[in-house]
Amino acid sequence: MPDNNNLTPKIFINKVLAGTATGTIVALIPNAVLSAILNYFADYPAAAIVIRAAVIFQLATPLIMGGIIALQFGFNPAKTMITGGAAFVGSGVIKFDPEMGAYVGAGTGDIINIMITASAAVLLLLWIGEKFGSVSIIALPIVVGIGAGVFGMLIYPYVTQVTVGIGAIINNFTNLQPILMSILIACSFAAIIISPVTTVGIGLAIQLDGISAGAAAMGIAATTIVLVIHSWKVNKSGVTLAIALGGMKLMMPNLFRYPIILLPCLFTAAISAIPVVLFSVSGTPASAGFGLVGLVGPLASLDAGLGVVPLILCWFVVPIIAGFVAQFLFEKILKLYDKHEAFKFLG
């Protein structure tokens, strides 16, 4: 039995955030990395099978996240999978289509709703404890798995409005002056990528396209580079590699404990957004939420007509230089944080 005698609200939230961060990476990295590359070989049967497998694996995002959140609380295998199952039910990743008369799966589900549903399941399991005795194996999946899952389904339409609302605000930036618009969008996505909100969901929900999508992806790329630079000598190589491959949400617990880590990310995103307008770096609604993950952002801009030299300059040279300048300015000169403390992986 897990020891939860000292479980405070702060510890509870940190455990949920840590589980969410790790679960997001485990679930999303395979499809993000493989699909962007293998789509160029989609006509080959072997590549097509791998792509489909990666998409199906991604559908299990809520299940994986819920399970890893449960592990943070020391649950046994049965309770871990009950939590994962509840998160899967309440995530919205599977919906019933009355016209087709079938259940249809798509996307990853709403991450915020996954967190809330998994949290509800964990709280129920902690409250119930061993009260069900020998019938736990039968009662817990029904009471907690289905109970918390239904709760998630009921709140899903309302929770998703948070994502839609954030998207609407960002979309309004497109009505402003192009360079300012690019900076605002890039900074927004630079911050969102290490929050519980899914940038992929926002990009698709508000149909960011053209330079707006390019700016969004560039903001994510900027945060990726900043986190890699700051993590390089602070964390184990596996953590840094995971961030480089798309695991920016690993830093979610750090964001809540040390919000100052946003400063170098926003600085780098603002600088990196300027070439987006100057070189017309474009993207698609699908690429807006990925940035450098799987080279989705760069490849989308290449498909939109960006040359190889401008691509390297915009996606790598400018953000990397800006990232090192941000670290030197905010840590060494202004001494606003110590990277060994603020960027130390807390998961």
Q: What is the pLDDT of residues 133-142, one digit of tens each?
A: 889 899 999 9
Residue 171 or residue 210, greater confidence: 210
Residue 164 or residue 298, greater confidence: 298
Per-residue pLDDT, 168: 72
Q: What is the DSSP string of 260-324?
A: GGHHHHHHHHHHHHHHHHHTT--B-TTTTTTTTGGGHHHHHHHHTT--HHHHHIIIIIHHHHHHH
pLDDT tops 70 at residue 1: no
In this structure, is the dihedral angle defined by the CA atoms of residues 315, 306, 179 and 286, taken in order, positive or negative?
negative
Task: Find the distance separating the first CA and the last CA of the chain, reported in whole Å.
Answer: 21
pLDDT tops 70 at residue 347: no
How is the chain split among helix, strand and coil, in percent rounded to 5?
Answer: 75, 5, 25
CA gap 311, 38 in Å, rounded = 20
Residues 6 or more apart whose Cβ sits within 8 Å of residue 325:
267, 271
| Helix 111-128 / helix 9-38 crossing angle, nearest 10 deg | 140
Name the DSSP class of 150: H
Per-residue pLDDT, 71: 94
The reported pTM is 0.72
What are the φ and ψ backbone dihedral angles of 94, each rounded to 5 degrees? Answer: -120, 125
Per-residue pLDDT, 39: 74
CA gap 319, 224 in Å, rounded = 10
| Residue indicated by tokens 């700016």 | 215
| Residue indicated by tokens 């707006």 | 212
| Amino acid at the residue 132 | F
CA gap 123, 83 in Å, rounded = 10
Work out the number of other CB atoms within 10 angstroms of the CB of residue 101: 7
Helix (H) or strand (E) holding 45: helix 45-59
| Residue indicated by tokens 């709703």 | 113
Per-residue pLDDT tens digits for 231-278: 998 999 889 998 988 888 889 889 989 999 999 999 999 999 999 999
pLDDT tops 80 at residue 198: no
Per-residue pLDDT, 33: 72
Q: What is the mean pLDDT of residues 122-151?
A: 93
Per-residue pLDDT, 4: 61
Per-residue pLDDT, 53: 92
Residue 92 or residue 33, greater confidence: 92
Per-residue pLDDT tens digits for 8-39: 888 898 888 888 877 877 887 787 778 767 87
pLDDT tops 80 at residue 224: yes
